[in-house]
């Protein structure tokens, strides 16, 4: 990407997007973003700027004089809507990068989400906490535990000062604290924090929701590190069940054959499409990370249980089918079929066979 060296007019102070130090180069695509050097420009581009480059232009371009109150209010509402969109986009991207293990690249996305959240909600708002948590988790992944602790203490302080804080935010906070203590090797405290995560996620969603399953997954990892395999296995099975049921619903909705396309049938189809559950970018990355990690653990165990291995393979097959990676879906589907052989009357085996028929029919349509 081409960069413009800056020759700032006297009195104009431009700062780097990442470190807030004096800027010397400019992004030539948007011309509203500045950097102290090429290293920070590249880091920001890989982390988030490529995605939001053009979206920043209307947010950072000086507002023209507007004569009427109505025009000014419209401009203000439009700006707020764009800022809220940027918060959602940058947070989802940051979370996705974390699940993919790209902790360094998650930092610019989290920093952007924090800036926009401050602009919209102010410095003391509970709405800043999700951004602090992404920064904290990225710091844990990079081994910067002191920095992670600072971000998480800031998040915790904000939660304590906000009586109306949702269980969803409390869940994410305790999950990150659990990860921090696990990284420190303080496993008992990690388990306590993760138990609080699961409690609040269950209150907000349900015990079997995929948004609760993350707490069970990290708790299982702690027991795994402690070599308490019986407990870890039961928790991995619970996580698998949550994702399996959720993915199966999506596949079922997407492959359902409509009865008719007129009258009541058309209305039912429309309602069904509106209610269809799906996965955002971050959830797609989480599903890949979690289910592949559990599959690797199951695959390496000496005392493999066929039905457990078959279920995780089927879950992965459904995930890749939803992501339109049909060949990968068939690969894991075949593994599920082979593993579940010997139980032809088993409900899971029948479900796997039916799923493979769907994959084959998709191939026939696309040929």
pLDDT class for 364, splitting at 50, 70, 90? low
Transcribe 261-322 into DSSP letters.
SSHHHHHHHHHHHHH-----HHHHHHHHHHHHHHHHHHHH-TT--HHHHHHHHHHHHHHHHH
Tens digits of residue pLDDT in 235-251: 999 999 999 999 999 99
What does pLDDT average to over the chain?
A: 90
CB atoms within 10 A of CB 255: 13
Q: Sign of torsion, CA 90 95 96 101?
A: positive
Is the model's pLDDT at 357 over the cut of 80? Answer: yes
Shortest CA distance to 278 belongs to which of 253, 310, 309? 253
Is the model's pLDDT at 365 over the cut of 90? Answer: no
Q: What is the pLDDT of residue 4?
A: 53
Mean pLDDT within 332-349: 83
When computed from its CA atoms, the radius of gyration of the chain, rounded to whole angstroms, is 24
Instruction: Considering only residues 187 and 8, tell me which one the structure prediction assigns the higher pLDDT.
Output: 187
Q: What is the four-CA torsion angle of 173, 177, 182, 188, rounded to 10 degrees?
A: -110
Domains of the chain: 29-62+72-158 (1.25.40)
Is the model's pLDDT at 43 over the cut of 60? Answer: yes
CB 2 within 8 A of CB 35: no
Tens digits of residue pLDDT in 71-107: 888 888 999 999 999 999 999 999 999 999 999 999 9
Is the model's pLDDT at 339 over the cut of 80? Answer: yes
Is the model's pLDDT at 275 over the cut of 50? Answer: no
Tell me which long-range contacts 197-206 makes (C-beta under 8 A, separation of at least 24): 197/171, 197/172, 198/171, 200/167, 200/168, 200/170, 200/171, 200/174, 201/167, 201/168, 201/171, 203/167, 204/166, 204/167, 204/168, 204/171, 205/168
Is the model's pLDDT at 3 over the cut of 70? Answer: no
Q: What is the pLDDT of residue 165?
A: 97
Range with lowest mean pLDDT among 261-275, 294-308, 309-323: 261-275
Range with lowest mean pLDDT among 70-84, 225-239, 289-303: 70-84
Q: What is the pLDDT of residue 262?
A: 55
Range with lowest mean pLDDT among 53-62, 197-206, 253-262, 298-307: 253-262
Tens digits of residue pLDDT in 168-180: 999 999 999 999 9
Q: What is the pLDDT of residue 70?
A: 85
Shortest CA distance to 361 belongs to which of 254, 248, 247? 254
Distance in angstroms (rounded) separating the CA atoms of residues 325 and 317: 9
pLDDT class for 208, splitting at 50, 70, 90? very high
Is the model's pLDDT at 69 over the cut of 90? Answer: no
pTM of the model: 0.87
Q: What is the DSSP letter of 127?
A: G
Neighbour-count burial of 267, counting CB atoms closer than 10 A to its CB (0-12 exposed, 13-18 middle, 19+ buried): exposed
Q: What is the pLDDT of residue 273?
A: 46
Burial 152-189 (b: 16+ CB within 10 A, else e): bebbbebbeeeeebeeebbbbbbbbbbbbbbeeeebee
């Amino acid at each position: 990407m081409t960069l413009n060296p800056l020759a700032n007019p006297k009195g104009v102070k431009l700062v780097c997007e990442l470190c807030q130090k004096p800027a010397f180069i400019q992004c030539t695509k948007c011309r509203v973003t500045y950097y102290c050097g090429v290293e920070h420009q590249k880091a920001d581009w890989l982390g988030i700027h490529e995605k939001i480059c053009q979206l920043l232009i209307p947010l950072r371009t000086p507002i023209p004089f507007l004569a009427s109150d109505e025009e000014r209010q419209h401009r203000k509402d439009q700006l707020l809507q764009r800022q809220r969109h940027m918060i959602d986009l940058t947070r989802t991207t940051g979370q996705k990068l974390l699940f993919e293990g790209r902790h360094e690249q998650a930092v610019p996305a989290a920093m952007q989400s924090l800036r926009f959240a401050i602009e919209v909600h102010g410095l003391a708002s509970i709405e800043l906490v999700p951004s602090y948590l992404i920064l904290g988790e990225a710091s844990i992944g990079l081994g910067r535990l002191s920095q992670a602790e600072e971000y998480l203490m800031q998040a915790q302080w904000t939660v304590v000062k906000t009586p109306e804080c949702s269980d969803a935010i409390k869940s994410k906070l305790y999950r990150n604290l659990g990860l921090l203590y696990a990284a420190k090797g303080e496993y008992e405290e990690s388990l306590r924090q993760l138990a609080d995560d699961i409690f609040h996620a269950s209150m907000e969603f349900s015990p079997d929701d995929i948004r609760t399953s993350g707490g069970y997954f990290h708790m299982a990892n702690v027991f795994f590190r402690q070599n308490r395999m019986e407990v870890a296995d039961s928790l991995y099975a619970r996580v698998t069940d949550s994702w399996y049921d959720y993915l199966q619903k999506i596949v079922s909705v997407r492959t359902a054959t409509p009865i008719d396309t007129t009258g009541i049938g058309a209305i039912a189809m429309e309602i069904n499409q509106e209610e269809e559950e799906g996965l955002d970018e971050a959830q797609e990355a989480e599903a890949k990370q979690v289910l592949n990690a559990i599959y690797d653990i199951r695959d390496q165990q000496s005392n493999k249980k066929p039905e457990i291995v078959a279920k995780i393979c089927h879950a992965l097959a459904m995930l890749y089918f939803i992501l339109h990676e049909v060949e990968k879906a068939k690969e894991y589907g075949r593994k599920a079929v082979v593993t579940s052989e010997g139980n032809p009357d088993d409900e899971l085996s029948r479900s796997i066979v039916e799923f493979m028929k769907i994959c084959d029919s998709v191939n026939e349509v696309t040929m």
